[in-house]
Amino acid sequence: QVQLVESGGGLVQPGGSLRLACASSGHTLDYYNIGWFLQGPGKEREGVSYNSRTDGSKHYSDFVKGRFTISRDNAQNTVYLQMNNLKPEDTAIYYCAAAGMVLFDWGDPDEYAYWGQGTQVTVSS
């Protein structure tokens, strides 16, 4: 069982930045494909970004492309999501997820076996 813990959420003004972290104790995240998802109030969980463990490729949803960056720090066993130029519509609970298998659709939550508890991001003036 891979346990994931997100941190770094909070309240930020529009145009501001946050860096979310996804850490695991006891399991090396470098062995897993990692995705970041968000879930707004009353909405379904949707993919934000993804980093493949196989080829290192990085993928972003259209609404965050150019603003968010996913990265790994293997020494810290942590995956980050740097979020810049935040907008009110980015307000949501953000989750990281891990999958040990090759994914057909990185944005499909059902393809991930392990999830963190989520961290709240609120963008408001």
Four-point Cα dihedral 46, 19, 113, 31, nearest 10: 130
- Residue 106: per-residue pLDDT: 95
- Residue 25: per-residue pLDDT: 80
Average pLDDT, the chain: 95
Cα gap 23→6, rounded to integer Å: 7
Q: Which residue has the higher pLDDT, 101 or 33?
A: 33
pLDDT tier, 102 (very low <50, low <70, confident <90, very high otherwise): confident
Contact at 8 Å (CB) between 123 and 87? yes
- Residue 104: per-residue pLDDT: 83
